[in-house]
Amino acid sequence: MSIEWGLIAARWVPTSGADPRVGGRWRAAGSGRGRPYALEGEFLAVDPPAKLVHTWRSVGGPAQDSTVTYLLDPLPLGTHLTLRHEGFRDPAACVRSCRGWETSLEALGRLLAPSSGAAGPRD
């Protein structure tokens, strides 16, 4: 099974834009815990379907980027995702991001659940 990165990103993150190539930029916005957020970064590695690496920072925030790496390994009935978000200077920002990833990955799991039809043909 092949997952269309753009389709999943558009359904997973409320608003997003991305140029998924090395040096391309991405931007996403939404709300978490009742507060709006806007994020942006640059793709550092794009190796479909196995690896994606990008920088991550709040729009208008400090220039300090962190880095997110996604590794995808096929399994007989799905895909194993390893996600690593590193480079935090502020421990509180690391904790907030961890909570955000937990919520986001739960939403992704619901999106990709067989009953959602995300991986099937679209009408």
Spell out the alpha helix ranges (H) of 13-90. none
**How many domains does the chain fold into?**
1
Asked, for residue 41, whether it belongs to a domain, the answer is yes
Residue 93's alpha-carbon distances to 28, 31, 66, 99, in angstroms, are: 18, 16, 10, 10
Contact indicator for 67, 54 with CB cutoff of 8 Å: yes
Domain span including residue 45: 5-116
Domain of 70, CATH number, reads 3.30.530.20
Q: Quick check: bond before 49 cis, omega within 30?
A: yes
One digit per residue, pLDDT tens: the chain, 123 residues?
344 445 455 555 555 678 889 999 988 887 777 888 888 999 999 998 899 999 999 888 776 789 999 999 999 988 898 999 999 988 988 998 898 889 888 888 888 787 755 444 433
Tally of CB atoms within 10 A around 55? 17
